[in-house]
């Protein structure tokens, strides 16, 4: 296959609002020994993209400065040290940046096959959220059936993934969302109950059933203290983002008295080996659930935008008026 020397990309002209995203041209990325080159079909839009665009999430050393942490597409070149994939294979992949482009070079071990029953465009919305949720909640963990799992922001990309995996793993999933429609959506994904945070406080609802054993939070702010109140003894609270801010005042005594674990992480800074282990675990444990009969997992694509309209995708993402994933297509 003859490849072009240049490709369309979307760059950040300066840090700021969505209109700082502009189209440009760049040379194709170099394919080093452990990587594959993917001709992109679609790229997912994620929360970290928005934070990086504003100037608060610099890419790790050696990573592309372009946005885009997940893609789907066709492998068009392979490095000399990898043997798993061949030219022509269709995959979805976790990237370390560079997804907002027609071509991206990806560590071969961070590629996954397109799951059965999933179309190639929608597959672009899987890697970032599935790697994130699986690595923070389920990877190398033994979680009993019936465990109470509280998911904040249930209608978003992380939330909709967490609800589905939790339900598929036999957990009692509770979710919070901001409207009646979003609550209905969360329940359609497998949430036992979805709580409209504009109408009801999740804390007494969870305390009434004894508290949550696992809490996944992307909100931060006053939710941190409220999560501690809503938690069961020995619960684990996982913080993945701080939409309402990370600088808070909180009473730590209940963490000691309840023996709580309060933790969090960012996926992008984890080692290549860690991400490879998560990829293998997803392929073995989770990917077959897309093709089960009936399917236990499904994609949650909400909207598609052309690569040139990345600014519109970011505007929609920031509006909060979405459910599931937003994708850029080539």
Could you write out the DSSP letters of every residue in 140-174? T----TT-EEEESSTTSHHHHHHHHHHHHTT-EEE
Topology adopted by domain 6-126+268-329: Quinone Oxidoreductase; Chain A, domain 1 (3.90.180)
Question: What is the predicted pLDDT for the residue at 81?
Answer: 85
The mean of the pLDDT values for the chain is: 96
DSSP letters for 60-120: PTTS-SS--SEEEEEEEEE-TT--S--TT-EEEEE-SS--SBSEEEEEGGGEEEPPTT--T
Instruction: Determine the angle formed by the axes of helices 157-168 and 180-189, rounding to 10 degrees.
Output: 40
CA angle 248, 250, 251 (to 5 degrees): 170
Kindly state the average pLDDT of the residues 255-260.
97
Backbone angles phi, psi at 141, to 5 degrees: -115, 145
Query: Is-contact 82 107, C-beta < 8 A?
Result: no
pLDDT band at residue 103, thresholds of 50, 70 and 90?
very high
> What residue has token string 């440009």?
24
293-303 per-position pLDDT tens digit: 999 999 999 99
Question: CB-based contacts of 89: which residues, under 8 Å, 6+ apart?
Answer: 74, 75, 113
d(CA 330, CA 323): 22
d(CA 50, CA 71): 17
Q: What is the DSSP letter of 198?
A: T
pLDDT of 165 > 90? The answer is yes
Global pTM reads 0.95
Kindly state the average pLDDT of the residues 185-207.
97
5-54 per-position pLDDT tens digit: 999 999 999 999 999 999 999 999 999 999 999 999 999 999 999 999 99
Domain limits, CATH 3.90.180.10, in the chain: 6-126+268-329
Question: What is the predicted pLDDT for the residue at 1?
Answer: 62
The two structure tokens encoding residue 38: 């993917």
Residue 275: how many other CB atoms lie within 10 Å: 20
d(CA 47, CA 133): 14
122-131 per-position pLDDT tens digit: 999 999 999 9
Domain limits, CATH 3.40.50.720, in the chain: 142-264
Kindly state the average pLDDT of the residues 76-87.
91
Q: Please, what CATH class does the domain formed by 142-264 belong to?
A: alpha beta
CA angle 184, 286, 271 (to 5 degrees): 110
Kindly state the average pLDDT of the residues 105-110.
97
The two structure tokens encoding residue 70: 């997940």
């Amino acid at each position: 296959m003859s490849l072009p020397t240049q490709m369309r990309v979307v760059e950040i002209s300066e840090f700021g609002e969505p209109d700082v995203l502009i189209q440009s041209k760049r040379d194709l990325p170099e394919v080093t020994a452990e990587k594959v080159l993917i001709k992109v079909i679609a790229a997912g839009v994620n929360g970290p993209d928005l934070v990086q665009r504003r100037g608060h999430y610099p890419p790790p050393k050696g990573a592309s400065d372009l946005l885009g942490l997940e893609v789907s597409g066709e492998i068009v070149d392979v490095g000399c040290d990898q043997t798993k994939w061949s030219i022509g294979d269709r995959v979805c992949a976790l990237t370390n940046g560079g997804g907002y482009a027609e071509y991206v070079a990806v560590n071969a071990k961070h590629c996954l096959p397109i799951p059965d029953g999933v179309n190639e465009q929608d597959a672009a919305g899987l890697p970032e959220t599935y790697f994130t949720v699986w690595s923070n909640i389920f990877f190398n963990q033994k979680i009993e059936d019936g465990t109470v799992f509280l998911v904040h922001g249930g209608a978003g990309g992380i939330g909709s993934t967490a609800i589905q995996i939790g339900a598929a793993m036999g957990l009692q999933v509770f979710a919070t969302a901001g409207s009646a429609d979003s609550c209905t959506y969360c329940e359609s994904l497998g949430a036992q109950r979805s709580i409209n945070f504009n109408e009801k406080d999740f804390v007494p609802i969870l305390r009434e059933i004894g508290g949550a054993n696992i809490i996944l939070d992307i909100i931060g702010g006053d939710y941190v203290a409220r999560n501690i109140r809503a938690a069961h003894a020995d619960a684990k609270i996982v913080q993945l983002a701080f939409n309402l801010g990370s600088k808070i005042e909180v009473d730590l005594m209940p963490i000691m008295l309840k023996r709580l674990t309060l933790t969090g992480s960012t996926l992008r800074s984890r080692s290549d080996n860690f991400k490879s282990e998560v990829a293998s675990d997803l392929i073995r444990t989770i990917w077959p659930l897309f093709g089960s009969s009936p399917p236990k997992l499904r994609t949650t694509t909400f909207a598609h935008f052309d690569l040139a309209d990345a600014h519109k995708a970011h505007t929609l993402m920031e509006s909060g008026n979405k459910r599931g994933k937003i994708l850029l297509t080539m």
